[in-house]
Amino acid sequence: MIDLHTHTVFSDGELLPGELIRRAETKGYRAIGITDHVDFSNVEFVISNVSKIKTLEDVLDMKILVGVEITHIPPPKMERFILLARRLGAEIIVVHGETPIEPVSPGTNRAALEMGVDILAHPGFITHEEADLARENNVCLEITARAGHNITNGHVVRMAVASGAKLVVNTDAHSPDDLIDRKRAVLIAMGAGLTEEKATEITTHHPIVTL
């Protein structure tokens, strides 16, 4: 299992990074991205502190990626913020997409896609044009395991398949019970409309992380 969208106590998660990593290890994770919610008020703090957990990599059979989930940044400020996060050392950039269950600013999806972030999380009712942009800029669209955000998984899959955009399955884990194994990830992808073959492919051959 490779999961590039998780949260710790450094935003609204329940676990310290080390606790999250240990629990992920027991689920058979091969790589994890710690992507706490950030805006201009906390991005330096989060990246600096989460980076310290990479010291565990030499004793684990798991790759740890220090990332961010850019959350509720106004679209006109998105480019500046993405560049800042990369400069501060973020290895993976996730943007909190236009999920229908939160008041995300319209235009967030497009701003993130134009900047070529790594993952557009729970992008909601993404348009054909936006899915094309994801393909062109090599942005992965997320199939999410998280309740609430997952109500548009089927729509996201349809748009991605039609456009040829890349898909990933992530948990958006905030608590221990949110973590899943690869078998569960395959079922979530199939439930969103992918064939078993395609669901297995995207959970085995990850488009971002090569191990």
Q: How many residues does the chain have?
A: 211
Amino acid type, 115: M
How much is the pLDDT for 21? 98
pLDDT tens-digit series, residues 11-38: 999 999 999 999 999 999 999 999 999 9
Q: Is 50 exposed, middle or buried (0-12, 13-18, 19+ CB in 10 A)?
A: buried
How much is the pLDDT for 3? 98
Confidence category of residue 116, pLDDT binned at 50, 70, 90: very high
29, 4 contact by CB (below 8 A)? no
- Model pTM score: 0.97
How much is the pLDDT for 186? 98
How much is the mean pLDDT over the chain?
97
Q: What is the phi/psi pair of residue 209, to 5°? A: -105, 125
Confidence category of residue 210, pLDDT binned at 50, 70, 90: confident
How much is the pLDDT for 191? 98
Q: What is the spatial distance between Cα 173 and Cα 19, in angstroms, rounded to a whole number?
A: 13
CA triple 91-96-98, angle to 5 deg: 150
Domains of the chain by start residue, with CATH: 2-204 (3.20.20.140)
With tokens 């990830």, the residue in question is: 185
